[in-house]
Amino acid sequence: MLRRAPHFPPMASTALRLSLVPALSFSSSPPPPPPSQSRCISTPPPHHLLPPPLGGRKLRPVRPASPHPRLRLAGISASFSSQSSSGNGRELLVQHLLIKENDLNLLLELQQRISAGEDLSDLAVEHSICPSKEQGGMLGWVRMGQMVPEFEEAAFSAPMNKVVKCKTKFGWHLLQVLSEREGSVLQDIQPDELHAKMQDPNFLEEAQLVDVREPEEVAKASLPGFQVLPLRQFGSWGPEITTKLDTEKDTYVMCHHGMRSLQVAKWLQAQGFKRVFNLSGGIHEYAVKADPSIPTY
């Protein structure tokens, strides 16, 4: 029996992941911290892995130009640290549905319908009690350490494209691994380290440098080689980011103090960029610690 291709919605559920697409703040000053949210699968994130304070407009992942999950589909994956993804570096593209623990008759019915050829994403929209039902049960790319142990064990041992079941404290899950890839990296880079790199002409040719400050800020202070993509103009450049920039190249992101750039760096990682670096402290710290010829403001 022929089965149609899995449904790949444009974004992952904001209720299921340890770290998802962050809200991108349009202010350089830190607003109040975000309220706590209930999470269906993920364990509470360590404090140092939380995104910067939210409070601004939320930006959704861009629908990829290619539907192939290995090329462009991505959810937030690697943690923000100086190391690459934990575990063995694998990331899985996962979709699932969730039903109540005592709803065994429905569980059996859904398993039978899947065996008969129905798609898990369609059944998730119809029956799942998880907020990810709005995206056909799509969780995006996940890695070791993001999910509760039972779900994680089932996902990372499941055969590709085979629907398997597991039970967690939230209920029964039917999950499907759609694709696999090598984990991405999101790192902090110190001003003196970036300054040293920028002395090498080859660095400016090989790397992608992105300044997410507003034009009036760039007029006050700037660094050579940085492409200006103002955060307030996200609507114009965001949907075309994978055509403007190469997801395979090292990408460095800068703002005034390093908060907006960290949020954009996380978002770029969500779009499938393999190696993303955030300038710690932004151009201000760069001017203070690495190059005093750069004006501060």
Predicted local distance difference test score (pLDDT) of residue 145: 81
Average of per-residue pLDDT across 260-282: 92
Dump pLDDT digits (tens) for 133-151: 999 999 988 888 888 999 9
- List phi, psi (to 5°) of 173: -115, 140
What are the sequence ranges of the domains in the chain?
Answer: 47-182, 185-289
Q: Could you tell me whether strands 227-228 and 275-279 are parallel, antiparallel, or unpaired per DSSP bridges?
A: unpaired
> In this model, does residue 2 exceed pLDDT 50?
no
Amino acid of residue 129? I
pLDDT given for residue 16 in this prediction? 44
Question: Looking at residue 271, what is its pLDDT?
Answer: 85
Domains 47-182 and 185-289 share a fold: no
The pLDDT > 90 percentage for the chain reads 61
Annotation: CATH topology of 185-289: Oxidized Rhodanese; domain 1 (3.40.250)
Please check whether residue 270 is in contact with residue 138, taking contact to mean a CB–CB distance below 8 angstroms.
no
Handedness of CA 23, 8, 273, 147 (dihedral sign): positive
Alpha-carbon span 279 to 173, nearest angstrom: 40
The DSSP symbol for 96 reads: E
DSSP state of 48: G
Look up residue 284 and give its two tokens.
């201000």
DSSP secondary structure letters along 203-259: HHHHSEEEE-S-HHHHHH---TTPEE--GGGHHHHGGGHHHHS-TTSEEEEE-SSSH
Q: How many helices (H) and strands (E) does the chain have?
A: 10, 9
Number of neighbours of residue 179 by Cβ within 10 angstroms:
18
**Predicted local distance difference test score (pLDDT) of residue 206:** 93
Residues involved in catalysis: 255
The pLDDT score that the predictor gives to residue 88 is 56
- The owner of tokens 């192939």 is 68
According to the model, what pLDDT value does residue 41 have?
A: 55
User: Is the full-model pTM beyond 0.75?
Assistant: no
Phi, psi (rounded to 5 degrees) for 229:
-125, 85
Helix, strand, or coil here: 114? Answer: helix
Rg (CA), the chain: 20
pLDDT computed for residue 60 by the predictor: 46
What are the pLDDT digits (tens) for 6-37? 443 333 343 344 333 334 443 333 333 333 33
Look at 41 and 80; give whichever has higher pLDDT.
41
Query: Which tens digits make up the pLDDT trace of 196-248?
Result: 999 999 998 899 999 999 999 999 999 999 999 999 999 999 999 999 999 99
Q: Quick one: CATH architecture of 47-182?
A: Roll (3.10)
Per-residue pLDDT at 232: 95
Q: What are the pLDDT digits (tens) for 96-106?
A: 999 999 999 99
Distance between CA atoms of residues 154 and 175, nearest Å = 8
Predicted pLDDT at 59: 45
Task: Considering only residues 67 and 111, tell me which one the structure prediction assigns the higher pLDDT.
Answer: 111
Residue 17: per-residue pLDDT: 44
Mean pLDDT check: name the lowest of 47-56, 175-184, 207-216: 47-56
Work out the average pLDDT over 185-194: 94
- pLDDT category at 256 given cuts 50, 70, 90 is very high
Q: Determine what percent of the chain is predicted with pLDDT higher than 70.
A: 70
For tokens 């996380």, name the residue. Answer: 266
Q: Give the number of other Cβ atoms within 10 Å of residue 101's Cβ.
A: 12
For the beta carbon of residue 149, count every other beta carbon within 10 angstroms.
Answer: 9
Mean pLDDT to the nearest integer, 60-82: 33
Q: What is the pLDDT of residue 23?
A: 40
